Amino acid sequence: MCGIVGYAGPVDGVDALGVVMEGLRRMEYRGYDSAGIVVQAQGALAARKKAGKLANLEELLSLDPLPLAVTAVGHTRWATHGGPTDENAHPHHSADGRLALVHNGIIENYAALRAQLVDEGASFTSETDTEIAAHLVARAYDEVGDLTEAMRLVANQLQGAFTLLALHADVPGTVVGARRNSPLVVGRGKGANFLGSDVAAFIEHTREAIELGQDQVVTITCDSIEVIDFAGAPATTRAYHVDWDARAAEKGGYPNFMAKEIDEQPRAVADTLLGRMDQRGHLALDELRIDASALRSIDKIVVIGCGTASYAGQVAKYAIEHWCRVPTEVELGSEFRYRDPVVTAKTLVVAISQSGETMDTLMAVRHAREQGAKVLAICNTHGSTIPREADAVLYTHAGPEVAVAATKSFLAQVAACYLLGLYLAQLRGNKFEDEVRAILAQLARVPDQIQQVLNSMEPVRALARQMADARVVLFLGRHVGFPVAMEGALKLKELAYIHAEGFAGGELKHGPIALIEPGLPVFVVVPSPRGRDSLHGKVISNIQEIRARGARTIVIAEEGDDAVRPYADTLIQVPRTPTLLAPLVTTVPLQVFAVELAMAKGHDVDQPRNLAKSVTVE
């Protein structure tokens, strides 16, 4: 939520404006309510900002250019305090205009601080919480004469979540940042240094990054990076190399990032599965700070996530309980700590997050750790907060996900959940090594099966175009097909702004069947006929019940399942997979359907209205 870019280059270097605008283009997925930039040139600051997408700022800059500069800070906003107007766009300035500041997060004690500043004679031009920070840092600078120290003093006064970056007219060539509960990474360049909400902000210039810890202040110039903690002591940081390059964050000929990311799913799953065996042939996690005996003694697993990540967690529940026989609950990050959950030292909390920065999930992680639970993160973003605070990490290798709606990260999360389930089953002795290997071999075939699904999506696209006027679409599933149904509904809601709901097939007769009326489109995710008990037959009964009431059925079933044919107005076939692994293939047609329908309606599928990627406020 909100994208931030900072740059300090050499005096004879390139124009900072271009570097920061390019960074903002890559950060725009984090928020697109407004954008702004400030440069420092000839002992003064100059800024431009505009409500709406980055294109509006670009237009403004072409009409009213900024002076050449080697230091700049930019911001792309997802509005919290104050509407998406020009006035509320960042950067915000101090009263004398000599300091400019951008912010991601929410300053929770801003009302008290603002009232105090007003009492002292300050006036404000925006409704944001950010503007008070600009006033406070400028005042502190006037008192102590050092921008880093001023930032540190103010950071200690603020409560809530914030990443702040500031430029001061009197401190040329320097950008100062601070972070608490909100992301900020440093890019170490040659003769230039960078700051960004994530590495995509500077990936074109350097792949050498430094992870900042919680409560740290960073000061960059073209040839130095200094980090201290909020107490003023030198801080320890961790340098790392980014294993993808700028091309991975480009559209590469696709009409939008989402279409590209859907096509990248075979790779995302294959890379997530890659290299997981240690020398003894055992499954291994990336970073494990929990000893094996603690993992053997866990008596409950709670999987935490938000939105799509929580649906990956629902799939995990079926797999982990089946393979490991450990009771597993799935909980929304935003609900977890508020219901006083029973969590003990024998509970393993699994936090799933693409960004690793989702505040609801992060707060749940902290609560779980305070209760003594061990936390294992499944995350796609190296250096982000959730894996840093967790006791163990399993990284998904989906590569950068730029489209706001999650696609490849979901499949990679599901694949990682299977790995975790198998890892625990192996460790706790629920499965023999050869059984684990047999399932891994089946998993290894899935990327090709996803590719087969992708190769056969033209009829699904045609169907989506035909259905562009649909007002309501329902999704039904059972067992692991239930979270798939909810994910299909979520994609359609967020991309096409269509009312969509995912139901468990068995629940239909307990209420939702009242929604069925002639012509209503209903997607049904059918389990394999080779699966357990009579689930397949029960889903066929569900289809009959809705068809009897006039629903138009769009059925996703595995190849060779001829029993469903008579009940499907449209049949979408996917390759045969073991029952538990089916979400990796059955989700794909639902993603393709949602994107195509949204495009047919003329929506911006990468940046759906009201949303932002990486939700760093609670």
For residue 581, the minimal CB distance to ligand F6R (Å) is: 21
CA distance 161 to 615: 12
Calculate the alpha carbon distances from 380 to 355, 365, 449, 524 in Å: 6, 16, 22, 30
For residue 603, the minimal CB distance to ligand F6R (Å) is: 14
For residue 438, the minimal CB distance to ligand F6R (Å) is: 30
CA distance 323 to 423: 10
CA distance 278 to 406: 30
Are 6 and 220 a contacting pair, CB within 8 Å? yes
6/307 with CB nearer ligand F6R: 307
306/414 with CB nearer ligand F6R: 306
288/611 with CB nearer ligand F6R: 611
Which residue ranges make up the site for ligand F6R (CB under 6 A)?
Answer: 306-309, 353-355, 358, 361, 405-406, 490, 494, 614-615
For residue 403, the minimal CB distance to ligand F6R (Å) is: 8
Told to judge if 222 belongs to the known catalytic residues of this protein, a careful annotator would answer no
Q: Which amino acid is at 497?
A: Y
Residue 187, CA atoms < 13 Å, CB-side half-sphere = 29
Q: Which of 574, 578, 597 is nearest to 455 (CA)?
A: 574
Told to judge if 613 belongs to the known catalytic residues of this protein, a careful annotator would answer yes
47/312 with CB nearer ligand F6R: 312
Bridge partners of 44, per DSSP, are 41
Residue 603, CA atoms < 13 Å, CB-side half-sphere = 25
Please report, in angstroms and rounded to a whole number, the separation of the first and last CA atoms in the chain.
11
CA distance 2 to 613: 9
- 3-class DSSP state of 249: helix
For residue 372, the minimal CB distance to ligand F6R (Å) is: 24
CA distance 309 to 358: 10
For residue 404, the minimal CB distance to ligand F6R (Å) is: 6
Ranked by CB distance to ligand F6R, the top (closest) residue is: 307
Burial 368-387 (b: 16+ CB within 10 A, else e): bbebebbbbbbbbbbbbbbb
Calculate the alpha carbon distances from 528 to 484, 575, 577 in Å: 14, 10, 8
CA distance 477 to 505: 5
354/528 with CB nearer ligand F6R: 354
> What are residue 35's phi and psi, to 5 degrees?
-145, 155
For residue 472, the minimal CB distance to ligand F6R (Å) is: 20
- 3-class DSSP state of 256: coil
Q: Which of 2, 324, 379, 417 is catalytic?
A: 2
Strands (E), 9-93: 34-41, 44-51, 71-77, 92-93
Q: Which residue is listed with tokens 């902290």?
A: 366
For residue 305, the minimal CB distance to ligand F6R (Å) is: 6
Catalytic sites, residue numbers: 2, 613
